[in-house]
Chains A and B, each alone.
Chain A
């Protein structure tokens, strides 16, 4: 999944006319909002908020009571799907917030202080970045015991290096600018400069990178849970459902299709939002050859 991070980090599309950009962005935001609303409904709406109790027979066909039918233990699949979307989103979001805080702090420190601090931060980042990510996640799961904590830690460890590098690069550019130099000369303290000038100027990079980290997080959660080391039963997550869907692919293909589909939609929407943000926050103008 290091490759995932690297692939996502390269942003395309800086040249779309504003209107198309808005259309794609709007669509992506609407999809995300729908997924969030659905997962919230899965917490509160009676009938949709119980994904852990056996309510019917095994693999019942869709009905009014259970619009997506039931799973191998006779639980409402729709309730489990909504719960799964919620778990996956919440877990990924919390992990990305942690990543953003750590990466921003480390990146700014490395860029402003330079020297050995930068060297140490960058080398640790290299180590984590070069460590095969799925194996890193599995080792973390084995050490912490499989579950939400392990998934969270794994996502943070996998997403922190790239984001730190990007933030450090952005912060280094800002740190060379005149207003930072003049602030330093006029005696403004380092913490204030880092907070007031560097942090505000790298916030765009942080937001863009956070969206990409979010899609990586959804993939990592999925992969870990698929292998049985992530979110634990009877809770639900998109990765767990996909794992069960794989097991029952021949009898109940809709389990994989619904959970996998939700995952694809979520990652796609998040990525498109990230692209649009990047277009807006870091625009450049190229010639048109055609």
Chain B
């Protein structure tokens, strides 16, 4: 019988790999003893003053299915909903899978997982969590057809196998290594299925979870007020009473909030925030390495796109100087990546793929006219697009930039069939296992990219093959095949990891922040935060 062995091995390898990867992370000042895997750690010796924590974030959750975690597609939704909802497992330092609602789990064979639930877990309405809630929630996700349902893997059955303890057994059709990492994401949250089925709880408009907080108030695009959930199974550990989440779209405002002491924590996707906050007294800024990465979509489906021609796509892929994108557009706070996020175990080296060593003529793109489509809410995209424009024009192409609002971007890229663009830029969350994000390179399971990428049997098979292997050299080799094939088809080109800077008022707050994150959740350890009384 193998008890949680997969996770343990993964964690060990992750820890080794991370030692060399977290160079971009800056340990906070005055916290010289920050352990590996963290960029900040709450000072246990502080008797938390409790009270209210003011946090500013860049944008609010705005999903088609409202507050229903199963359908949440955007990283910010995951972190906000993750304050209220819990999944069976979570991600710890070094991408180690750790218990959350499941106090422990066993993996008797490669396709079976047995989860034992926290005995004290209750929903915030007081009702105890049962195995039926877990079975119902996971089954609901698997059947939902949502973005995340495909990431659960080849689930054969989800069964209530409770005896003396509440227990759930998940059986897979075939081994699927990223299963636990997929379960760790918020869309796999456990919902109160009894109330949901009875119709007394609508997950679209309300949140009723098992987590550390409950929602006191939500004003769309303005603020959230969360209150500590006294019935949380780990309530004694909680250091704050109220969490005030203010949505502040303008970065300058978030900087100002930290600098003038009215905000205790804020996030920035602009890598320069690290430097911008340097001069501020009582503010510590840390860079959290993300497995999230920017990618360029070359439209191979639309016949009007110059990238229907695979050779043109390969030329573009070879011409993009990813190191220059990192150095200039991302202020050096990122790293080039292949399809597998560069900071995850078993990931391919970005310079190992064929395009990295391909020779390209000086005027290889002569006569090619294309436009790069970006959305205007992320300044980093504009920076990357402008550099790519320079790089491609140097090879004779004529490139235009088109910046549109988020709505138009989604409409033209993901909804239009075929996609209404030549090149588009966006980013993927990288998740906690190198093989999860590779699923997006198969449009038949990813769905959202059928309008601009084609389905390739060899690539799809390679993706599945790699996901069946346990972490290690063999899997790294299989993932290399995925990276190489994706590189040759050159439809979605991975560019560089996406920086995330977190700033906090070090005179008011002692937070815990992981050095690496795969789901954009910089509030993952908020329960450990300690406020400093004044």
Contacts and interface: CB of A to CB of B under 8 A. Distances in A.
B328 A58 contact: yes
Contacts of A142: 405, 408
A233 B382 contact: yes
Interface of A: 52-54, 58, 72-74, 142, 145-146, 228-229, 232-234, 246-251
Nearest to B382: A233
A54 B329 CA distance: 11
Given A73-B328, A228-B376, A145 B390 contact: no
Interface stretch (B33-41, B268-276, B458-466): B268-276
Interface residues of B, number: 27
Nearest to B383: A73
B281 interface: no
B389 interface: yes
24 contacts: A52-B386, A52-B390, A54-B328, A72-B383, A73-B328, A73-B329, A73-B386, A73-B387, A74-B328, A145-B402, A145-B404, A146-B376, A229-B376, A233-B382, A233-B385, A233-B403, A234-B386, A246-B250, A247-B270, A247-B379, A248-B272, A248-B276, A250-B276, A251-B276
A74 B328 CA distance: 7
Interface string B321-341: 000000011010000000000
B514 interface: no
Given A232-B403, A233-B401, A247-B251, A58 B386 contact: no
B171 to A, nearest CB: 50
A52, A54, A249, A250 pick with most chain B CB within 10 angstroms:
A250
Contacts of A146: 376, 403-405
A146 B250 CA distance: 20
Interface of B: 250-252, 255, 270, 272, 275-276, 279, 328-329, 331, 376, 379, 382-383, 385-387, 389-390, 401-405, 408
Contacts of A58: 328, 331
Interface secondary structure of A, over-half rule: loop
A179 B250 CA distance: 60
Contacts of B276: 248, 250-251
B252 A247 contact: yes
B404 to A, nearest CB: 7
A246 B252 contact: yes
A105 to B, nearest CB: 34
A72 B328 CA distance: 7
A234 B389 contact: yes
A210 to B, nearest CB: 31
A228 B403 contact: yes
Interface hub of A229, A247, A249 (most chain B Cβ within 10 A):
A247
Contact of B255 (A54, A74, A250): A250
Contacts of A247: 251-252, 270, 379
Given A142-B405, A251-B275, A233 B252 contact: no
Contacts of B383: 72-73
Contact of A249 (B252, B389, B390): B252
B390 A54 contact: yes
Shortest 7 CB-CB contacts between residues of A and residues of B: A228-B376, A250-B276, A234-B386, A233-B382, A232-B403, A233-B401, A246-B252
A247 to B, nearest CB: 6
Nearest to B331: A58
A108 B473 CA distance: 82
Contacts of B389: 234
Given A72-B272, A247-B252, A247-B379, 20 more contacts: A53-B390, A72-B383, A142-B405, A142-B408, A146-B376, A146-B403, A146-B404, A146-B405, A229-B376, A229-B405, A232-B401, A232-B402, A233-B401, A233-B403, A246-B250, A246-B252, A247-B251, A250-B255, A250-B279, A251-B272
A145 B390 CA distance: 23
A153 B358 CA distance: 46
Contacts of A74: 328
A150 to B, nearest CB: 11
B289 to A, nearest CB: 21
A107 B379 CA distance: 44
A247 B272 CA distance: 10
Nearest to B270: A247
Contacts of A234: 386, 389, 401
A251 B160 CA distance: 57
Nearest to A147: B402
Contacts of A246: 250, 252
Contacts of A52: 386, 390
A139 B397 CA distance: 33
A211 to B, nearest CB: 32
Nearest to B379: A247
A52 B251 CA distance: 25
B144 to A, nearest CB: 32
B283 to A, nearest CB: 12
A233 B386 contact: yes
A146 B402 CA distance: 8
Contacts of B270: 247
A142 B387 CA distance: 26
A200 B404 CA distance: 44
B444 to A, nearest CB: 32
Nearest to B407: A142
A248 B272 CA distance: 8
